[in-house]
Amino acid sequence: MRAPYLELHTGAGRGYPVFNVVERDASVDVLKRYTDWFKVRTASGVEGWVSAHDMEQTVLADGTAFHYDVGDLNAFTSHRFEAGAFFYGDYGGASAVSLYGAVFANPNLSAELSVGEFLGRASDGTTLDLGLAHIFYPQARLAPFVMLGTGAVRIEPKATLVQPSDRTEQTAYVGGGLRYYLTRRFFLRGEYKEHIIFTNRNQNQQVDEWKFGFAFFF
Amino acid sequence: MEIRLRILLLTLLLGLSGSLSGCATLRHLFGHDTPPPPGAEAGASTDRTTEDDSTPPRVIQPEVERRKVKVPRIKSQDIEVGGYLGTLNVEDFGAHRVFGVQVAYHVTEDFFLQAEAGRSKAGRTSFETLSDISLLTDNERWFKYYDMSVGYNFLPGEVFIGRNHAMTSSFYILAGVGATDFGGDSKFTGNFGAGLKVLPTDWLAVHVAVEDRVFNSDLLGVNKLASNLEAHMGLTFFF
């Protein structure tokens, strides 16, 4: 402990009361972490929660500062994994929900996998997309990106229509979007994808998809 | 004679104290520990530097190894997994038992992302009961849903059991989207609700929550917004 004192809260949140303090030069054991809070045990065996901000003022046994990354714009620029959920989606006029995950090769390039379900008046279905995304200006708070990939779609027409059989088709897509860094590990993501569904009929089908959602990186 | 002896002893004592004034404890005892004026200190240090310049390099290099501290990975508990049991009121089809599973990822102390999936078996409408006509098959009466929500913790507090036990608690609100499979059709569904979470230990939470699942239904001939209220109790574990 290097700060005058370290406050121990009863729970992992700023609203929980402080019930104990650790004085300067005393040491604590870090037991675990929950979001931006650390559970610590004092020399006298008292266990409580300390915020990451307060923990930054402690030092390790070798004198170096304790550091925990809560996420910032630098981490938004360069990270290994991210995941998110699209709470607004429109897939060719049908309402859609989807999730995605991405692995980054470098700050600009990532491989993405997304799964979704769309629910329309004429048909329902599920989608799976696998592709690459390239981010321009990853260091900017508002960063545009483009996407290219392939996937599959399973279309289940509603029973009342002429062609009732379910079908699974291969798809390809191009798209683009924007990422906007909010705070900590959070960002917003909105995107547009143009899907080409390779059908066995004379013409391929084109579907526009718009999505908007929350994402976080780690 | 006696006075002479006393003078002798006192002189001896004074002499001793004078010769021992170099000793730290005695200096302290006799109030000799006042710090020297800053000028004197500076002078001393300059003397030392000049002395260092003239002296040859030290033969013995200090071999002080820095203590290496290996920081173990701190276990994180941001993921919450559990199940729940409650009652779901399927509009027009009565209230029945519902059970489901939930997974949450806590991004900050305030916000979390949560996914839920549950099912319930709806009953018969009043029309079906009175006319003895079945609108849905047995299989179509399964009300199956999933949702993805964003939640927000607020009103943190403590609940008390008796005199000696306090448990942390928090209210939360959540809203999201998902899909419901009912009556042979899948519907885009919006959900919103609120709950209370009590943590008996750091890794266990007891939830009491109420949620509404809303979708456009044309099951009974007219298109309407079907509101399906659900109240459940759940148990979750933090990983």
Instruction: Mark whether B33 and B125 lie in a shared domain.
Output: no
Instruction: Mark whether A116 and A193 lie in a shared domain.
Output: yes
Q: What is the largest CA-CA distance in chain B?
A: 136
Band the pLDDT of A203: cuts 50, 70, 90: confident
Residue B120 has pLDDT above 90, yes or no: yes
The answer to whether position A131 is within a domain reads: yes
Instruction: Mark whether B42 and B87 lie in a shared domain.
Output: no
Instruction: Mark whether A9 and A51 lie in a shared domain.
Output: yes
The answer to whether position B59 is within a domain reads: no
Band the pLDDT of B66: cuts 50, 70, 90: low
Residue B30 has pLDDT above 80, yes or no: no
CATH number at residue B96: 2.40.160.20
Closest chain A C-alpha to B179 CA, distance in angstroms: 8
Instruction: Mark whether A195 and A107 lie in a shared domain.
Output: yes
pLDDT tens-digit map of A172-194: 999 999 999 988 888 999 999 99
CB contact under 8 A, B156 and A10: no
Regarding predicted confidence, which is higher, B18 or B139? Answer: B139
Top-confidence range, A126-140, B33-47, B117-131, B210-224: A126-140
User: Tokens representing A168?
Assistant: 């699974």
Instruction: Mark whether A82 and A45 lie in a shared domain.
Output: no
Instruction: Mark whether B38 and B116 lie in a shared domain.
Output: no
The answer to whether position A138 is within a domain reads: yes
Question: In this structure, what are the phi and psi dihedrals at residue B129, rounded to the nearest 5 degrees?
Answer: -65, -40
Instruction: Mark whether A49 and A86 lie in a shared domain.
Output: no
Q: Is B150 on the interface with A (CB under 8 A)?
A: yes
Instruction: Mark whether B199 and B132 lie in a shared domain.
Output: yes
Q: What is the mean pLDDT of residues B153-174?
A: 91
The answer to whether position B40 is within a domain reads: yes
DSSP string, A63-74: SPBP------HH
Instruction: Mark whether B29 and B137 lie in a shared domain.
Output: no
pLDDT (0 to 100) of residue A149: 96
The answer to whether position B202 is within a domain reads: yes
Instruction: Mark whether A21 and A86 lie in a shared domain.
Output: no
CATH number at residue A127: 2.40.160.20
Q: What is the mean pLDDT of residues B159-174?
A: 92
Minimum mean pLDDT among A58-67, A85-94, A98-107, A125-134: which range?
A58-67
pLDDT (0 to 100) of residue B8: 65
Q: What is the mean pLDDT of residues B189-216?
A: 94
The answer to whether position A63 is within a domain reads: no
Instruction: Mark whether A12 and A104 lie in a shared domain.
Output: no
The answer to whether position B63 is within a domain reads: no
Q: Please say whether the beta carbons of A127 and A100 come within 8 A.
A: no
pLDDT (0 to 100) of residue B164: 86
Instruction: Mark whether B85 and B31 lie in a shared domain.
Output: no
pLDDT (0 to 100) of residue B74: 81
Number of structural domains (chain A) is 2
Distances (CA, A) of B166 to A7, A17, B75: 19, 12, 24
Helix ranges restricted to H, A17-84: 52-55, 73-77
Q: Is B79 on the interface with A (CB under 8 A)?
A: no
Cβ neighbours around A23 below 10 Å, total:
11
Identify which of B109, B158, B184 has the shortest CB distance to residue A36.
Answer: B109
Top-confidence range, A15-24, B1-10, B39-48, B172-181: B172-181
CB contact under 8 A, A11 and B156: yes
Number of structural domains (chain B) is 2
Instruction: Mark whether A86 and A16 lie in a shared domain.
Output: no
pLDDT (0 to 100) of residue B89: 95
CB contact under 8 A, B202 and A216: no
Instruction: Mark whether A118 and A38 lie in a shared domain.
Output: no
pLDDT (0 to 100) of residue A187: 92
Q: Is A52 on the interface with B (CB under 8 A)?
A: no
The answer to whether position A69 is within a domain reads: no
Identify all chain A residues contacting B176, using CB atoms and an 8 Å cutoff: 87
Instruction: Mark whether A98 and A141 lie in a shared domain.
Output: yes
The answer to whether position A175 is within a domain reads: yes
Instruction: Mark whether A24 and A92 lie in a shared domain.
Output: no
Q: What is the mean pLDDT of chain A?
A: 89
The answer to whether position B110 is within a domain reads: yes
Q: What is the pTM of this model?
A: 0.76
The answer to whether position B143 is within a domain reads: yes
Q: What is the mean pLDDT of residues A9-17?
A: 89
Instruction: Mark whether B111 and B227 lie in a shared domain.
Output: yes
CB contact under 8 A, A87 and B74: no
DSSP string, B33-93: -PPPPHHHHHHHHHHHHHHHHHSPPPSSPP--PPPP-PPPPPEE--EEEEEEEEEEEETTT
Residue B64 has pLDDT above 90, yes or no: no
pLDDT tens-digit map of B73-112: 788 888 999 999 999 999 989 999 999 999 999 988 898 9
DSSP string, B101-154: EEEEEESSSSEEEEEEEEEEE----HHHHHH---SS-TGGGEEEEEEEEEEEEE
Instruction: Mark whether B196 and B130 lie in a shared domain.
Output: yes
The answer to whether position B201 is within a domain reads: yes
Instruction: Mark whether B46 and B95 lie in a shared domain.
Output: no
Identify all chain B residues contacting A95, using CB atoms and an 8 Å cutoff: 177, 188
Cα separation, A154 vs B212, whole angstroms: 29
Instruction: Mark whether B13 and B90 lie in a shared domain.
Output: no
Identify all chain A residues contacting B202, using CB atoms and an 8 Å cutoff: 12, 32, 34, 39
Q: What is the mean pLDDT of residues A30-50?
A: 90
> Which residues form the domain of B29?
2-54
The answer to whether position A65 is within a domain reads: no
pLDDT (0 to 100) of residue B41: 45
Tell me what percent of the residues of chain A surpass a pLDDT of 90: 51
| DSSP-derived 3-state class of residue A17 | coil
The answer to whether position B196 is within a domain reads: yes
The answer to whether position A181 is within a domain reads: yes
Identify all chain A residues contacting B75, using CB atoms and an 8 Å cutoff: 31-33
Q: Which of the residues B75, B114, B154, B186 would you substitute to probe the A interface, choosing the one with the greatest number of A C-beta atoms within 10 Å?
A: B186
Closest chain B C-alpha to A42 CA, distance in angstroms: 16
The answer to whether position A186 is within a domain reads: yes
Q: At B165, which helix (H) or strand (E)?
A: strand B165-182
Query: Which residue, of B37, B54, B71, is where some domain finishes?
Result: B54
Instruction: Mark whether A50 and A98 lie in a shared domain.
Output: no
Query: Which residue, of B54, B69, B89, is where some domain finishes?
Result: B54
Instruction: Mark whether B136 and B231 lie in a shared domain.
Output: yes
Closest chain B C-alpha to A108 CA, distance in angstroms: 24
CATH number at residue A37: 2.30.30.40
> Which residues form the domain of A200?
74-217
Instruction: Mark whether B34 and B144 lie in a shared domain.
Output: no
**B224-238 vs A186-198, strand pairing mode:** unpaired
Question: In this structure, what are the phi and psi dihedrals at residue A49, rounded to the nearest 5 degrees?
Answer: -105, 135
Q: Is B111 on the interface with A (CB under 8 A)?
A: yes
Cα separation, B76 vs B71, whole angstroms: 14
